Amino acid sequence: MSRLIVVSNRVPPPADKGASAGGLAVALQAALRDRGGLWLGWSGETAATEAESEEIKTRVEGNITFSLVDLTKRDQEEYYSGFANRALWPLLHYRLDLADFDRRDTTGYFRVNAFFARILAAQIQPDDVIWVQDYHLIPLAAELRARGITNKIGFFLHIPWPPADVFFAMPWHRRLLEAFTSYDLVGFQIDYDAENFVNCLVREGLGRETSRGTFKAGEREFKIGAFPIGIETAEFTSVAVEAEHNALVKRMAVSLNNRKLIIGVDRLDYSKGIDQRMLAYERFLENTPSAHGKVTYLQVTPKSRSDVPEYAEMQREIAETAGRINGAFSDIDWVPIRYINRTVKRTTLAGLFRMADIGLVTPLRDGMNLVAKEFVAAQKPEDPGVLVLSRFAGAARELDGAVLVNPYDMESTGGAIAGAIEMPLEERIARWRSMYDQLTRYDVNYWCESFLKALETQHNVPAFGSQNPQFRQAS
Ligand SMILES: O=P(O)(O)OC[C@H]1O[C@H](O[C@H]2O[C@H](CO)[C@@H](O)[C@H](O)[C@H]2O)[C@H](O)[C@@H](O)[C@@H]1O
Ligand SMILES: O=c1ccn([C@@H]2O[C@H](COP(=O)(O)OP(=O)(O)O)[C@@H](O)[C@H]2O)c(=O)[nH]1
C-alpha cells in the first residue's frame, strides 16, 4: 500500500496534550492511524522571522510522522485570519454580508500555499498519495504540479459549497476554480455541495461533465464526489458509557436535580446559529410556562478565531443574549441557561450527551457537524434523547430520525423543543435506532476508505443525490 500524506492547516496537538476542539482534527487522526504516513501542517505557532518559519518540526506518534511549520505573524494574519477566515469561510457559508475580500490577504493566502507546497515537494516519494484538507489549502495541488509533482492528489472540503451566484461574488473566483482542476479527486460533504460546485465550473466555462462525477477541464480530467464524514461511532459510544463514572459528569447529574437537560456544543462561530438558538429557547420558555424550573439548557462554546473581528463581536452578542434571558426567567433556585466559554474534553462531552434529553444542533449553515453525530452515538438505547437538527447542517442529509428545524424560524424551533421534551419513548427509540444504524454503517473509516478508493483506483465516485443510499432526509 502506498504511503499516505495528509496536509491540513490544523494538525492535532500531541496525544498527551488533551482534546482538540476541531472536528477535522478528530476525524483525520482516526483515518491515518490504520495506514500510517506523513501529516504536514501549521504548528499553530508564530515564527519571529521568515528564516525561523523554514524550520520543520518533526514529531512521531506511532506510525504517523507530523511535519509542522510555524507561520510568521504576517502569514497568519493574511492567510489564516484574513483570506481563509474572513473571505472564504463566510462566503462558503453563504454569508456575503460578512465577507471581506482584501487584496493583501489574497496574496498572503496564495503565498502561504506556495510555501507549504515547497516544503512538501521536498518530502514526496514517487508512490505517495496526497490528501489535502479544507479551504485553507485549495491552491496546493496547482503549486505542487508547478513543481513537477505527478502523484495522485485528492482534496476534501469540510465546509459547504454555495450556489454559483454566491461564489461568484468573490473577485478571485475563477483563479480558485482553476486551482481545483489540478486535483485528481475533489470531495464534498454532501451531494448538494458537489452539485453547486459542478455548476460553478460549468457556468465559468471551465469544461464539462463527461459522466456523473467526472469533469474535463482542458487536458485534465478529474473526479468530483460527495463523501459525508463520519465519526468513530462504536468508540464514541464506549466513551459515553464509561463517562457515566466521570466525576464532572456525576456533578452535572446531581446539579440537574431531575430537570431535563438540553445541550448545545459549538465553537463560538456565527455559522453555528448560537444566538438564534438562544432566542428560540426563549420563545419556548415564553410559550411553555410549565417548563420553568424543569429544564436546563447547557451551551458549551469554546472561543474560536478570536483575532477575527466578526468573532469578537459575536462573542459579546451571545453573552448579552444569555444574560438577558437568564435575567428575565431565572428564579432563586433555577437558571435557564448555563453558558460555558471554554473547551470541554470530548470524553466529558460524551457523558453529558448521554444524560441529555435533547441535543440542540441548529447551525445556520454547516459542512457536516460532528456534534450531531456524537450526540446520537452517545445515547442510551433504552431511553434515548432527541436530536433537534438544523436542515442546513450536512448531517441533516443523513440523520433521518432527527427533528428538523429551520434555525431562522425561532418560533417553530421553540415549538420543536417543546415537542421533543414531550416525545413518547417509543418514537424516541425508533428515531434513534434509524440514526444509530446509519452512523454504524457510515463511520469515519468508511469515509476514509471510500475517499481513498475513489482517489487511488479507477472506480467511479459514489453517485450524488438520491442514487446514493447514504443520503436520506429527516422530516
Ligand atoms: O481550525 P479552526 O480555525 O480552529 O476551526 C476548527 C475546524 O472547523 C471547521 O470544521 C469543519 O469540519 C468538520 C469535520 O468535517 C465539519 O463537521 C464541520 O461542519 C466543519 O465546520 C473547519 O472546516 C476545519 O478546517 C477547522 O479545523
Ligand atoms: O468544548 C468542546 C467543543 C467541541 N469539541 C469537539 O469538536 C468537534 C466539533 O466538530 P464539528 O464538526 O461539530 O464542528 P467544527 O468545530 O469542526 O466546525 C466535535 O468532535 C466535538 O466533540 C470538543 O471536544 N470540546
**pLDDT tens digit string along 154-167?**
999 999 999 999 99
Taking the C-alpha atoms of residue 191 and residue 451, their distance in angstroms, rounded to an integer, is 14
Q: pLDDT band at residue 274, thresholds of 50, 70 and 90?
A: very high
The separation between CA 48 and the C-alpha centre of its own chain, rounded to angstroms, equals: 31
Entry pTM? 0.96
**Would you list the domain boundaries of the chain?**
4-230+444-467, 233-441
* ipTM associated with this complex: 0.97
**In the predicted model, what is the mean pLDDT of residues 277-300?**
98
Q: How confident is the model at residue 16 (pLDDT cuts 50, 70, 90)?
A: low
Strands (E), 26-159: 37-47, 57-61, 64-72, 129-133, 153-156
Give the mean model confidence (pLDDT) for residues 22-45: 77
383 is catalytic: no
Q: How far apart are CA 257 and CA 249, in angstroms?
A: 13
Region 428-437 average pLDDT: 98
Q: Measured in angstroms, how far is the CA atom of residue 286 from the centroid of ligand 2?
A: 30
For position 20, what pLDDT does the model report?
A: 47
For residue 48, pLDDT beyond 90: no
CA pair distance 371, 344, nearest whole angstrom:
13
Grouping H, G, I as helix, E, B as strand and the rest as coil, residue 148 is coil
The per-residue pLDDT for range 394-411, each reduced to its tens digit, is 999 999 999 999 999 999
Q: Percent of the chain having pLDDT more than 70?
A: 96
**Residue 305 beta carbon below 6 angstroms from any ligand 1 atom:** yes
Q: Is 194 helix (H, G, I), strand (E, B) or coil?
A: helix
φ, ψ of residue 84 in degrees (nearest 5): -65, -45
Residue type at position 174? R
Q: How far apart, in whole angstroms, are the C-alpha atoms of residue 194 and residue 213? A: 9
Asked if the domains 4-230+444-467 and 233-441 are classified in one and the same CATH topology, the answer is: yes
Which cell goes with 160?
Answer: 459547504
- CATH 3.40.50.2000 given to domain 233-441: yes
- Closest approach atom of ligand 1 to CA 21: 6
User: Where would I find the H helices in 147-211?
Assistant: 164-167, 173-180, 191-203
Mean pLDDT, the chain, whole residue set: 94
Task: Grade residue 24 by pLDDT with cuts at 50, 70 and 90.
Answer: low
Instruction: Report the chain's C-alpha Rg in angstroms.
Output: 22
Ligand 1 centroid to 410 CA: how many Å? 25
Report the distance separating Cα 168 and Cα 432, nearest Å.
40
Lowest mean pLDDT among 31-35, 78-82, 348-352: 31-35
Give the tens place of pLDDT for each residue, 217-227: 999 999 999 99
Residues in Cβ contact with 363 at an 8 Å cutoff, skipping those fewer than 6 apart = 266, 271, 272, 273, 369, 390, 392, 393, 407
Rounded to the nearest 10 degrees, how much is the dihedral formed by the CA atoms of 388, 343, 366, 114? -170
Q: Confidence class of residue 27 from pLDDT cuts 50, 70 and 90?
A: low
Q: How far is the CA of 158 from the centre of ligand 1 (A)?
A: 6
**Calpha distance 406→29 (Å, rounded):** 33
Checking if the pLDDT of 426 tops 50, the result is yes
State the pLDDT at residue 412: 98
Is the CB of residue 159 below 6 angstroms from any atom belonging to ligand 1? yes
pLDDT of amino acid 177: 98
Q: Is the pLDDT of residue 21 over 50?
A: no
When pLDDT is averaged across residues 260-269 and rounded to a whole number, the result is 98
Cβ atoms of 360 and 371 within 8 Å: the answer is no
Nearest to 259 by CA among 345, 194, 173, 355: 355
C-beta of residue 116 within 8 angstroms of C-beta of residue 140: yes
Strands (DSSP E) found in 288-406: 295-300, 337-340, 358-361, 386-390, 403-405
CB-based burial label for 214 (10 Å; 0-12, 13-18, 19+) = middle
Alpha carbon dihedral 192, 198, 204, 209, in 10-degree steps, equals: -150
Counted residue by residue, the chain has a size of 475
Is 366 an annotated catalytic residue? Answer: yes
Please name the residue that has the C-alpha cell 456575503.
96
Placement of cell 516519494 in the chain: 125
Does domain 4-230+444-467 sit in CATH 3.30.420.40? Answer: no
CA proximity to 227, closest of 440, 456, 455: 455
Pocket test of ligand 1: the residue of 6, 11, 24, 188 to mutate, having most ligand atoms within 8 Å of its CB, is: 24
